Amino acid sequence: MADTEPGDVEKFGVTSILVCLAHCLCVFHPPGDMPGGIIVCGVELIRVDTKEFIYVESGHKRLDIYVAEQIPDLSRSLVQKLIGSGHVLVNGAVTHASYKLQAGDVVGVIVPAAEPTEIVAEDIPLDIVYEDDQIMVINKAKGMTVHPAPGSKHGTLVNAILAHCDDLSGIGGVERPGIVHRLDKDTSGLLVVAKTDAAHASLQMQIQERAAERRYYALVWGATKFNEAVVDAPIGRHPSDRQKMTVIKETERYTSRVAITHLKALERFDNFTLLEAKLETGRTHQIRVHCAFICHPVVGDPVYGGIKRNLPSSLSKISHKALAGLIEGLNGQALHAYSLSFDHPITGERLSFEAPMPADMQAIITWLTASDRTGKR
């Protein structure tokens, strides 16, 4: 990779990107003969209401867009699943999401309710940055899983949130009430939680349309040669290690999704760089995978090559031990979601929040800065 001048943007990517969409199998009961629930992609939704609309607009709007506009509590992705499972009818017949409505069309919708949660509320301290009757913004601590999963049913962010607020949005699913986006267990920083279905739908749409902005601090191995870079490389499950994600080069053979990360070098040290990472998409482990892909893994990352790295050879034995101890003390990757901006789902006001770097990560930055300034290694 060549050196870049200030203002230049390096672009990393995999050529001939083909996004392989994973199709889910939807099983459903016909609306007129339902035994009590709707099954969409294996998730049962309780049938509670039906709604009917007559299309009177002059233009020809897509069915999924129209239904999402008429029922703001439903996200467009959920509307598309309901259409695909036969629970949205046009003039009494099943059709597809891209159907262009005609004046006079009668649209019938079976409206689901979220499953009641069985997650146990737990009194766990939360760092709440902002809260109103629609949303909460939380500075998540490192080491806390966001939502329950096999093997981690307790001690999660959702358990803690339910103890603080028991009327969360349900359209995230029974295991993820209120959760709009996630952070990895050992990534700290800001995330927003929806208290109402309307807030959930709005925030989810902002993330999908890239109106919400998420920025991270990432301390990576190596002094980067770029000042700014765009990593455009699709991500999917690792073909041989299903616990890991990876950049997929053979997109025709393996399932992947478009993943784009914007990187900016904030400060360089001897064999380290502090990056700002801005997400354009939000894939699992995206920043960690992309940094490893460009040969600058996140410091302390136990999965993507951020642990067993050589410290600068110029360090004295004492300094080597001190820095190694700080890195070992991270207990995870040096990655922090420090900035979050989005439009309030009800008022439309632009909200922006920042969270300071956690102490363990700041301690490494402080040590590297002092070492560079004094030249004592």
Whole-angstrom Cα distance, residue 248 to residue 3?
26
Torsion of CA 161, 162, 165, 166, to 10 degrees: 160
Comparing C-alpha atoms, which of 260, 334, 268 is closest to residue 297?
Answer: 334
Whole-angstrom Cα distance, residue 353 to residue 136?
12
Q: Is there a contact between 11 and 4 (Cβ–Cβ < 8 Å)?
A: no
Cα 131 to chain center, whole Å?
20
Tokens 């993330």 belong to which residue? 207
Whole-angstrom Cα distance, residue 235 to residue 264?
21
What number of CA atoms fall less than 13 Å from residue 214's CA on the CB side? Answer: 29
Whole-angstrom Cα distance, residue 367 to residue 257?
38
Q: Is there a contact between 163 and 122 (Cβ–Cβ < 8 Å)?
A: yes
Q: 273's torsion region: left (phi>0), alpha (psi -120 to 50) or beta?
A: beta
Q: Which class for 146: exposed (0-12), middle (13-18), buried (19 or more C-beta within 10 A)?
A: buried
Supply the residues annotated as catalytic. 184
Handedness of CA 97, 52, 86, 111 (dihedral sign): positive
